[in-house]
């Protein structure tokens, strides 16, 4: 194996180096030069992205490392998206971490290992690699949730997350073992080739476990219980992290495992996902209405949005997967911004996580309120913002695959959803500020990035063509 043949894995290789470098630098820089690690991490991410653009691109599909690793355009694009998302998330988080005195090197190292896990998952071509990616990502994220060790709530939610996550991993592993037993291979391509004809009972059993695990990771009802608690309990910067970058990974998990490896059983799993999607849409949207905590409300909104992503898979066609990919990317873009606003709105001792904390935000900080309004209208699916196209695309593939009732339910639920997004806008714009609150954070660079984020939501909404085309091309 020559050095050039490793080029498609440049992102992963670079990440391993970067993690070591950041870890060591942090140890030697010590307490005095706190600012070094964040800067270095951002630099490493930028460089990694540049290397991936330069060397990581492949034409067509390449399988490396004895079939463990696949390099294709989808993986390449998702890795670039991963670099960008993590960089933005860390940029937004810095002031927050500094304020609460939890700006430590480990936070950045854990973010990078999580990102490495995402990369492994995105490029997995074997059940083992998939599992490796899932665990690497999950373990990093569990520790990030518990990162603020002074906070009891955070520790509690990390524990919950860990225990439930372990059960889900167990389910995943068990399902994989059944599939392995039936097909005699770990290679996803081989599995796809060997599964044909009517599904056996064993396959359905294995499939069920796998679907449960995927649903757990995505946060689909009824496997969503961990999500609101973790979103609410974790430090907001961690909530921002886990609500964005891992979504891409779990999209890839569903795509590689279900849509590619188990494509022979598409009729079976799409039915299971259909039931999950309906439950997810209904529970997510309805329960979000009664929340009083913004982070928890956004958690239920995340569940509701996962319902739409799952609907893309229910269609069971490449068009459907590309709609799900588009929805995922759009969702991540919007979520980055919404949690970014929460990060900027709070101070030490004032987390700005209750809905009431947003009363009259417009008068305290017009820019923040404007950005949040754009993001909320976008998630509600109102044009001219990009969230509209994501929903439209899902409706379209559902019609194309003939799922009339799912269209009706999804349409009705998006109206229910609109209500609680509007409520946030109402609080910010129509209500006077309730009491004297500490001023919002003035970090010019972060504000600028947040403004760009909101602007991207508008521009991609006015001209949705390129991103739609890209998503369709990535899935073929």
Partner 1 sequence: MPHLLSILIWLPIVAGLAVLALGERRIAAGRWLSLGASLVTLALTVPLWSAFDTGTAALQFVEKLAWIPRFQAYYALGVDGISLPLIVLTAFMTVPVVIAAWTVIVARPAQYYAAFLIMEGLMIGVFSASDALLFYFFWEAMLIPMFLIIGIWGGPRRVYATIKFFLYTFLGSVFMLAALIYMYVKAGDYSIASMQALPLTLVEQRWIFLAFLLAFAVKVPMFPVHTWLPDAHVEAPTGGSVILAAIMLKMGGYGFLRFSLPVTPDASRELDLLVIALSLVAVIYIGFVALVQQDMKKLIAYSSIAHMGFVTLGAFVIYEIVRSTGSSHGAGMGLDGAMVQMISHGLISGALFLCVGVLYDRVHSRLIADYGGVVNTMPVFATFMVLFALANTGLPGTSGFVGEFLVIIASFRASFWYAALAALTLILGACYTLWLVKRVVFGAVANPKVAALEDLNPRELVVLGALAVAVLAVGIWPAPLLKVMQPTIHHLLSQAIATKL
CB of 434 to partner 1, least distance (A): 15
Q: How far apart are CA 89 and CA 83, in angstroms?
A: 10
465 binds partner 1 (CB under 8 A): yes
Q: Which is nearer to partner 1, 43 or 392 (CB)?
A: 392
415 binds partner 1 (CB under 8 A): yes
CA atoms lying within 13 Å on the CB side of residue 145: 28
Q: Which is nearer to partner 1, 119 or 362 (CB)?
A: 362
Q: Which is nearer to partner 1, 414 or 440 (CB)?
A: 414
CB of 274 to partner 1, least distance (A): 17
411 binds partner 1 (CB under 8 A): yes
Q: Pick from 98, 396, 433, 459: which binds partner 1 (CB under 8 A)? A: 396
Residues 420-459: x where in contact with partner 1 by CB under 8 A, - otherwise, as a string:
--xx-xx--xxx----------------------------
Residues 358-377: x where in contact with partner 1 by CB under 8 A, - otherwise, as a string:
-------------------x
* 218 contacts 255 by C-beta, under 8 angstroms: no
CB of 377 to partner 1, least distance (A): 6
468 binds partner 1 (CB under 8 A): yes
Q: Which is nearer to partner 1, 274 or 387 (CB)?
A: 387
Q: Pick from 13, 418, 452, 456: which binds partner 1 (CB under 8 A)? A: 418
How many positions of this chain bind partner 1 (CB under 8 A)? 31
Q: Which is nearer to partner 1, 154 or 457 (CB)?
A: 457
Cα dihedral sign, 470-248-447-353: positive
Q: Is 341 helix (H, G, I), strand (E, B) or coil?
A: helix
Q: How far apart are CA 148 and CA 103, in angstroms?
A: 10
* 244 contacts 89 by C-beta, under 8 angstroms: yes
Q: What angle separates helix 266-289 from helix 294-315, to the nearest 10 degrees?
A: 160
Range list of β-strands (E), 161-213: none
* 272 contacts 208 by C-beta, under 8 angstroms: yes
CB of 352 to partner 1, least distance (A): 22
Nearest to 250 by CA among 219, 275, 204: 219
* 230 contacts 242 by C-beta, under 8 angstroms: yes
Compute CA 227 distance to the chain's CA centroid, rounded to the nearest angstrom. 12
388 binds partner 1 (CB under 8 A): yes
**Which residues, other chains included, contact 163 with Cβ-Cβ below 8 Å and sequence gap of 6+?**
none
Stretch in the footprint of partner 1 (CB under 8 A) among 2-10, 104-112, 139-147, 393-401: 393-401
**Which residues, other chains included, contact 44 with Cβ-Cβ below 8 Å and sequence gap of 6+?**
14, 18, 21, 22, 112
Q: Pick from 80, 128, 159, 392: which binds partner 1 (CB under 8 A)? A: 392
Which runs of consecutive H residues, i.e. helices, occur in 290-427?
294-315, 318-345, 361-364, 366-380, 386-400, 404-425
356 binds partner 1 (CB under 8 A): no
CB of 399 to partner 1, least distance (A): 5
DSSP, res 385: S
Residues of this chain that interact with partner 1 (CB under 8 A) are: 377, 382-384, 388, 392, 395-396, 399-400, 407-408, 411-412, 414-415, 418-419, 422-423, 425-426, 429-431, 463-465, 468-469, 472
């Amino acid at each position: 194996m020559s050095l050039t043949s490793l080029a498609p894995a440049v992102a992963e290789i670079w990440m391993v180096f970067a993690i070591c470098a950041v870890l060591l630098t942090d140890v030697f820089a010590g307490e005095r030069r706190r600012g070094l690690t964040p800067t270095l991490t951002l630099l490493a991410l930028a460089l990694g992205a540049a290397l991936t653009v330069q060397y990581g691109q492949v034409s067509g599909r390449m399988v490396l490392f004895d079939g463990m690793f696949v390099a294709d355009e989808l993986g390449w694009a998702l890795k670039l998206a991963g670099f960008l998302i993590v960089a933005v998330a860390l940029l937004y988080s810095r002031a927050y971490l500094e304020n609460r005195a939890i700006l430590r090197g480990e936070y950045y190292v854990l973010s990078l290992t999580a990102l490495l896990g995402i990369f492994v998952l995105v490029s997995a071509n074997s059940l083992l690699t998939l599992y490796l990616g899932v665990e690497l990502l999950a373990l990093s994220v569990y520790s990030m949730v518990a990162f603020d060790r002074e906070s009891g709530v955070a520790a509690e939610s990390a524990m919950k997350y860990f225990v439930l996550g372990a059960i889900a991993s167990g389910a995943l592993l068990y399902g994989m073992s059944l599939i392995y037993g039936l097909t005699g291979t770990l290679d996803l391509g081989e599995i796809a080739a060997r599964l044909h004809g009517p599904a056996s009972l064993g396959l359905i059993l294995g499939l069920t476990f796998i679907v449960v695990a995927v649903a757990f990771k995505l946060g689909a009802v009824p496997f969503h219980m961990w999500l609101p608690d973790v979103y609410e309990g974790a430090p907001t910067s961690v909530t921002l992290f886990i609500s964005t970058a891992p979504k891409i990974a779990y999209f890839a998990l569903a795509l590689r495992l279900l849509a590619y490896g188990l494509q022979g059983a598409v009729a079976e799993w799409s039915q299971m996902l259909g039931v999950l999607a309906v439950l997810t849409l209904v529970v997510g949207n309805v329960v979000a209405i009664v929340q009083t905590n913004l982070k928890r409300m956004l958690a239920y909104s995340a569940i509701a949005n996962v319902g739409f992503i799952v609907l893309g898979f229910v269609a069971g066609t490449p068009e459907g997967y590309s709609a799900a990919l588009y929805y995922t990317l759009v969702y991540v873009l919007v979520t980055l911004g919404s949690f970014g606003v929460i990060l900027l709105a709070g101070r030490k001792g004032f987390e700005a996580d209750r809905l009431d904390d947003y009363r009259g935000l417009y008068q305290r900080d017009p820019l923040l309120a404007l950005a949040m309004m754009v993001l909320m209208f976008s998630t509600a699916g109102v044009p001219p913002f990009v969230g509209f196209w994501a929903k439209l695309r899902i409706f379209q593939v559902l019609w194309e695959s003939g799922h009339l009732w799912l269209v009706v339910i999804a349409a009705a639920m998006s109206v229910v959803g609109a209500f609680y997004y509007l409520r946030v806008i109402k609080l910010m714009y129509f209500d006077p500020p309730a009491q004297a609150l500490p001023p919002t954070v003035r970090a010019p660079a972060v504000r600028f990035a947040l403004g760009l984020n909101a602007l991207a939501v508008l521009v991609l909404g006015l001209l949705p063509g390129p991103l739609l085309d890209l998503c369709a091309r990535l899935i073929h």
